[in-house]
Amino acid sequence: MSGGWKSCPKPPKKRRRTPYDEIVELCNLPPEIKELLPRRWERYGDVVILKLPKELTSYEREVGRLYAEVLGANLVLVDEGGVRGLTRCPVVRVIYGEESEAFHKENRLIYNFDPIRIMFSSGNIDERIYVAELLKGSGDRRWVVWDLFAGIGYFSLPAGREVKGGAVVSVEINPLAYYYLIKNLVFNEITDRTIPVLGDNSKVIVPGTADLTISGYFVEEGWEEHVARVCSLLKPEGGLILYHFLAKKKELELRLAMLLKRFSRELLNRNLDVAEHRCRRVKSYAPLVYHYVLEVLARPTKGQKPSGEDWASLYK
Ligand SMILES: C[S@@+](CC[C@H](N)C(=O)[O-])C[C@H]1O[C@@H](n2cnc3c(N)ncnc32)[C@H](O)[C@@H]1O
């Protein structure tokens, strides 16, 4: 008889019980309805946002209570799809809890907002981090950043945290978003380097003052004038533009060509050139439509003596 230890077959790995499993377990609805319970949700602090198929509408109170209980949320909203109007007001409905503010933590920053009246796009997280990293990695450069569609500080907060010895000007037209912007500048302790402005960016910009301009809104109507405004903001020694836009994948090349032509023309009016450009896809926005960012590095035209710092160092 051979002695020694026999190797035992490994017990099958136990899958960890997820909050979704718990929701399904606790749910008393008919099985065909249970199957439709959302497996994913957005979470901003104590607020949960769900997308519900229409078959669940008549059970939504119960569904809201269930998600609140399992996820420990005090407000559950149903996302009816999209955002409304110039101020990008979300289309949501309360299915559980009292109206309350969200305190969302991301990248060591706090975003406070009213989730019923103010949008937050979790899909833009990489772009918010990108802005922080860009400024962080830029050495001693004292950036002056203009955030033209500041909202509650989506980009102004990461920029404000990393801007060293420079400043961020945050322009927002909606008084409610502006109210939260100011609160967020205070909560994140960056009021000493941020200048919030309540107003229309087409009226308040100061030409020739920016190292970095962020245009984080999809301007469709009047985009040509908007590009002109964005370019006019840059300092004579040039700078960087982050320009957000929407496009269908198959129309991207054409759209980019049109944008770049416009940027080149407007920059040339200020003796600047498109020295480099690149385009990033941020997220899927709608069926076949994507959210992109065009990054334009502008430098003085050849023959012009570059004044100020050398922007090339950014793109090493
Ligand atoms: C909600 S943000 C867009 C998304 C955001 N960049 C993100 O990352 O999630 C757009 C903001 O621009 C503001 N806005 C729209 N038109 C404006 C204008 N002409 N001047 C200043 N702010 C404007 C809206 O009120 C809104 O708060």
List the domain boundaries for the chain. Answer: 19-100, 122-315
Read off the pLDDT of each residue in 271-288 and give the average, rounded to a whole number. 95
The secondary structure element, H or E, covering residue 284 is: strand 272-286
Residue (of 304, 256, 299) closest to 280 by Cα position? 256
Q: How far is the CA of 113 from the centre of ligand 1 (A)?
A: 14
CA atoms of 105 and 91, how far apart (whole Å): 22
Ligand 1 pocket, 185 CB below 6 A?
A: no
Q: Kindly tell me if the per-residue pLDDT of 316 is higher than 80.
A: no
Q: How far is the CA of 272 from the centre of ligand 1 (A)?
A: 27
Q: What is the number of the ligand 1 atom nearest to the C-alpha of 200?
A: 20
- Please return the burial class of 181, using the count of CB atoms within 10 Å of its CB with bins 0-12, 13-18 and 19+: buried
Ligand 1 pocket, 215 CB below 6 A?
A: no
Q: Please report the pLDDT score of residue 22 as a whole number.
A: 94
Q: Which residues, in sequence order, are bridge partners of residue 147? A: 170, 214
pTM more than 0.75: yes
Residue (of 188, 174, 170, 178) closest to 105 by Cα position? 188
DSSP string over 189-258: T-GGGEEEEES-HHHH--TT-BSEEEE-S---TTHHHHHHHHHHHBBTTBEEEEEEEEEEGGGHHHHHHH
Q: Which of 130, 172, 202, 218 to mutate to test the pocket of ligand 1 (most atoms within 8 A of CB)?
A: 172
Amino acid making up residue 239: G
Q: Please report the pLDDT score of residue 15 as a whole number.
A: 79
Fold designation for 19-100: GMP Synthetase; Chain A, domain 3 (3.30.300)
Q: Please report the pLDDT score of residue 63 as a whole number.
A: 96
Summarize pLDDT for 43-78 with one digit per residue, the tens. 999 999 999 999 999 999 999 999 999 999 999 999
Q: What is the number of the ligand 1 atom nearest to the C-alpha of 244?
A: 6
Read off the pLDDT of each residue in 105-134 and give the average, rounded to a whole number. 96
Q: Kindly tell me if the per-residue pLDDT of 145 is higher than 80.
A: yes
Q: What is the CATH number of domain 122-315?
A: 3.40.50.150
Ligand 1 pocket, 146 CB below 6 A?
A: no
Read off the pLDDT of each residue in 288-302 and give the average, rounded to a whole number. 95
Ligand 1 pocket, 171 CB below 6 A?
A: yes
Read off the pLDDT of each residue in 113-133 and give the average, rounded to a whole number. 96
Q: What is the number of the ligand 1 atom nearest to the C-alpha of 149?
A: 12
